[in-house]
Chain A
Amino acid sequence: EDKVVQSPLSLVVHEGDTVTLNCSYEVTNFRSLLWYKQEKKAPTFLFMLTSSGIEKKSGRLSSILDKKELFSILNITATQTGDSAIYLCAVVPSRDTGANSKLTFGKGITLSVRP
């Protein structure tokens, strides 16, 4: 069974700090890893990572995948109170059809950024 483990489970930092969120996985026939941010409502898409070693970046957020060691990290620099949320990672297995495939999510990391 596919498995995704995120750590730490929760984190409290102060504005301006840099945080690193971890996601490790065990999945047969890995295809991609996705990061989502969930505030009070729906998760919103952040990054999709498919290739090892290539950093994806969007403003203060960046993420990288290590397919050999089976993990990904999400970095947030110069954190702001608006970064407070649950950060979810999910893995997408390969599929043998043209169809979409089910995502396996980690339990999420709750980040609280204090002023």
Chain B
Amino acid sequence: KAGVTQTPRYLIKTRGQQVTLSCSPISGHRSVSWYQQTPGQGLQFLFEYFSETQRNKGNFPGRFSGRQFSNSRSEMNVSTLELGDSALYLCASSPGGAYSYEQYFGPGTRLTVT
């Protein structure tokens, strides 16, 4: 099975712009979670989507949003970028069933905001 894929892998944006990141989960997986990873804060949960619905949400401002499509692919959008948004954004997929705690991570998108 192909793993989780994320595009683009690297991105440079300027403050005030917006960005959209994409994640394709493992075939058959219905849950996609997004995380932000920075050296200071570690991995922090952004949100989780299952069957096109947001099921869980972390403590991030409303500038961070996401969606999931019927094929389980997910996108994450960050509007009005700030310097502090520079981070590695990871998505993880899991089957999404009652006992599917194990998450499989994609390679991440490295976002740099200048």
The count of chain A contact residues (Cβ–Cβ below 8 Å) is 24
- Closest-CB distance, A90 to chain B (whole angstroms): 8
Return chain A residues, CB-CB under 8 Å to B101: 31-32, 34, 48, 92, 100-101
Interface residues of B in 50-69 (CB under 8 A from A): 50, 55-56, 58
Q: Interface size for chain B: under 10, 10 to 19, 20 to 34, or 35 or more residues?
A: 20 to 34
A41 CA / B90 CA spacing, docked (Å): 9
- Does A44 have its Cβ within 8 Å of any Cβ on chain B? yes
> Binary interface profile of A, 83-113, with partner B (CB < 8 Å = 1, else 0)?
0000010101000001111111111100000
Inter-subunit contact A100/B50 (CB<8 Å): yes
- Closest-CB distance, A33 to chain B (whole angstroms): 10
- Closest-CB distance, B50 to chain A (whole angstroms): 6
Interface residues of B in 76-99 (CB under 8 A from A): 90, 94, 96-98
Known: A32-B101, A42-B105, A45-B104. A102 touches B90 (CB 8 A): no
- Residues of B near any A CB (own CB < 8 A): 4, 31, 33, 35, 41-45, 48, 50, 55-56, 58, 90, 94, 96-98, 100-108
**Interface pairs (11), CB distance under 8 Å:** A34-B101, A34-B102, A41-B108, A42-B108, A43-B43, A43-B90, A99-B96, A103-B33, A103-B103, A105-B35, A108-B43
- Residues of A near any B CB (own CB < 8 A): 31-32, 34, 36, 41-45, 48, 88, 90, 92, 98-108
